[in-house]
Structure 1
Amino acid sequence: MSYHVNERGYYGNFGGAYVPEMLYPNVEELQAQYLEIMHDPAFVAEFNSLLKDYVGRPSPLYLAERLSEKYNANIYLKREDLNHTGAHKINNTIGQILLAQRLGKKRIIAETGAGQHGVATATVCALKGIECVVYMGAVDIERQAPNVARMKMMGATVIPATSGSQTLKDATNEALRDWINNPVDTHYIIGSVVGPHPYPDMVARFQAIISEETRWQLKEKIGKETPDYVLACVGGGSNAAGMFYHFLDEPNVTLIAAEAAGKGVDTGESAATTALGKDGVLHGSRSLVMQTEDGQVVEPYSISAGLDYPGIGPQHAHLHVSGRGVYVSITDDEAMQAGFQLARLEGIIPAIESSHALAQLDKMKFNGESVVVCLSGRGDKDLSTYMKYFNL
């Protein structure tokens, strides 16, 4: 079975491009050209050069000794939190800004939840001198104020989404609306492995640098390229898609994705799509979507602004349904405790998103196995949430 996209833009039954007629030309232009551009030697050279000298890659693969001791495993953290801008998001925005330039686009739009993708988009637009507009839910603007300030500092216009739950889903709706109204000169840098084909595949390819590096780093450390377990958090799922990419066809590697259960899967305040979702179309692709009996999208909830999305990338839906990936639900409380634990054991404050993946360690039994956890972002943006939660 293939876990990669087919020529029609599908992963098994999931994917495709379900877009309004106005957007066909944009999406078709991307579909026709993205692979050719990405394989062009000049593109590859510029992309790799920026990842090295601007982003600071390769990101370290760190053996967390005290954490490992606690769980009786060899736990390695893939330190995406050490990238410029503080998360994995920059890998994708560097790739997409170079792509947009080659397509002759003069304006960039993006959506953001936790603000990290917005920051990463504002960053590359400043780097290349291109106009940048970021849509962000009004609720998220409030809870991620430091990131909003960073975007504005770099010249981006931040527009609040005030409909629905005023979070990531609504920001995405607004960004798509903008793209429909400005189809010729604007490129939409989608921040996750969601949206119409080719976005899920394109974003996964840009993020695949995470697992590409992990393989050779593991070889250096343990003498083989494959761990026993790979863990990552999933909202839309781009850090997980990148972390899993070069292990998809390694059946001995167990892939575990941690979704946000919020206050509990059955509380009505959750974002655990694989547990709660059904087949549906959201933001341009067919996937698993949290929805009511009559197909209305259910408002998601998570303490982490980056995971409260009511769907999941189509590749993740396929990995879940096919059984290749293990998709688990982690509550707010479990994630917060795991983040606190990492700070106390290793001196690393993780993003609350990443803490969901760390929390899964508590639910596993180890006997010296090697485990790689994608530490997708740093916790600076979440300090006020941590402080409030733990009364610090």
Structure 2
Amino acid sequence: MFSKRNKNGFYGEFGGSFIPEMLRDNINELEEKYNIYQKDIEFQKIYRKILKNYVGRPTPLFFCKTYSKRYNAKIYLKREDLNHTGSHKINNAIGQSLLAKKLGKKKIIAETGAGQHGIAVATTCSLMNLECMIFMGEIDMHRQYSNVLIMKSLGAKVIPVYSGSKTLKDAVNESIRYWINNPESYYLIGSTVGPHPYPMIVSDLQSIISEEIKIQLKKKGIIYPNYIISCIGGGSNAAGSFYHYLDNKKVKLLAVEAAGLGIHTKKTAATIFCGSKGILHGSMTFVLQNQDGQVLPTYSISPGLDYPGIGPMHADLFMKKRVKFLHSTDNEALQAGFELMKLEGIIPALESAHALSALKKIFFKKNEIVIITLSGRGDKDINVYNQFMNKNFLNHEPIT
């Protein structure tokens, strides 16, 4: 199996748990309890019930009629943007919050970049009566200010991070520092990154995406798609979209990284294309780093993809050539976002727009089945879209 990991949380040579000794008891307890509740019928029943009645699952698999004509393929969008809170992040937040309560935790800490994970965590904490603290880079707080207001309205304490590049990486750093000093809290990681068992937990919880895709395609008389396309930063929505198709080599899996201003510039977040093997936030993976192993600053117009690493499962899938990685610049993503608005009346998150941009990079055979995961809605990014529109697609400088 392509998704197979060993008992120490390694996917091939990637993964593991490289953490301070002070967190070892927390990690061991988390792994032990997760292995129990993952198989617990009552726990799973409660989780699925919340997904159905509160989150609004299953999300639609929407056929894009106009889009399909343009690209000579049958294109479907997996509408994770229609979840409660507006993205796929709620799938993971619900599951981990339930797990935290089983562990007797009363305080949740989390990081966020685009704010969608932060909103999802703040929402579930409100639902489950848990204290909530969200770390967010100062730059991201400015460019996703509407999401900051939502988190605060839900009762979360939003902590600005002023260190480093003041984006997602630094929010993760501060979350881990806080967790070390406050081990009684529960760290709810939002992507398939971090020490084992987090990549496993997040990918399992997000697997509901591909589980539903299989069921929905079957109802349409389709055995399997030809392509599944997803944007990728840390990799949670990609993991969920690919999960149940990893062992079906007939399905081409494509992950689109954020190239920023280009992979040959210093303003990029394309980890696979520009990174090398290293340890980041507790796991061995691909990292954007210099020759001395120092993590490099990243850039993307999309805060959720502005991260200098990638989940260890995805690093392994890249090495095994099971997933093909592409990259798209800011301008390519923005133009793809506007195209979806114009053709289908849907405003995608900037993260999702990177996945959409892949359509111009692939030659499809007539009527091939293409699934694109629309990981989030774009109202949070409407100011950026407006800036880009006003610049008439001509300015290649970063939009902040």
TM-score by length of 2: 0.97
Please give the residue correspondences for 1:311-330 in structure 2 after superposition, counting only pairs within 5 Å.
Answer: 311-330=309-328
**Tell me, which stretches of 5 or more residues in structure 1 are unaligned?**
none
Please give the residue correspondences for 1:194-209 in structure 2 after superposition, counting only pairs within 5 Å.
Answer: 194-209=193-208
Deviation at 1:97, TM superposition (A): 0.4
* Matched residue type, 1:375: L
Deviation at 1:4, TM superposition (A): 2.6
Deviation at 1:224, TM superposition (A): 2.7
Alpha carbons 1:343, 1:349 under 8 Å: kept: yes
Aligned position for 1:373? 372
Aligned position for 1:280? 278
Aligned position for 2:117? 117
Instruction: Give the Cα–Cα distance (whole angstroms) in 2 for the partners of residues 85 and 246 of structure 1.
Output: 25
Q: Deviations over 1:342-362 (max 9, x none)?
A: 000000000000000000000
TM-score by length of 1: 0.99
- % identity of equivalent residues: 57
Aligned position for 2:182? 182
Deviation at 1:7, TM superposition (A): 1.3
Instruction: Give the Cα–Cα distance (whole angstroms) in 1 for the partners of residues 193 and 275 of structure 2.
Output: 15
Aligned position for 1:216? 215
Aligned position for 2:191? 192
Q: Does 1:340 align with 2:338?
A: yes
How many residues are aligned here?
390
Deviation at 1:3, TM superposition (A): 2.1
Instruction: Give the Cα–Cα distance (whole angstroms) in 1 for the partners of residues 209 and 150 of structure 2.
Output: 25
Q: Secondary structure at the residue paired with 1:39? A: coil
Alpha carbons 1:88, 1:239 under 8 Å: kept: yes
Alpha carbons 1:216, 1:225 under 8 Å: kept: no
Aligned position for 1:389? 388
Q: Secondary structure at the residue paired with 1:249? A: coil
Alpha carbons 2:2, 2:322 under 8 Å: kept: no
Aligned position for 1:69? 69
Q: Does 1:161 align with 2:155?
A: no
Q: Secondary structure at the residue paired with 2:67? A: helix
Alpha carbons 2:234, 2:307 under 8 Å: kept: yes
Q: Deviations over 1:79-112 (max 9, x none)?
A: 0000000000000000000000001001000000
Instruction: Give the Cα–Cα distance (whole angstroms) in 2 for the partners of residues 21 and 8 of structure 1.
Output: 16
Instruction: Give the Cα–Cα distance (whole angstroms) in 2 for the partners of residues 284 and 363 of structure 1.
Output: 34
Aligned position for 2:44? 44
* Matched residue type, 1:111: E
Q: Deviations over 1:311-359 (max 9, x none)?
A: 0000000011110000111100100000000000000000000000000
Q: Deviations over 1:199-243 (max 9, x none)?
A: 00100000000000000101111x133100000000001000000
**Tell me, which stretches of 5 or more residues in structure 2 are unaligned?**
392-400
Alpha carbons 2:89, 2:117 under 8 Å: kept: yes
Alpha carbons 1:263, 1:331 under 8 Å: kept: yes
Deviation at 1:32, TM superposition (A): 1.5
Aligned position for 2:33? 33
Aligned position for 1:297? 295
Q: Does 1:93 align with 2:104?
A: no
Alpha carbons 2:2, 2:317 under 8 Å: kept: no
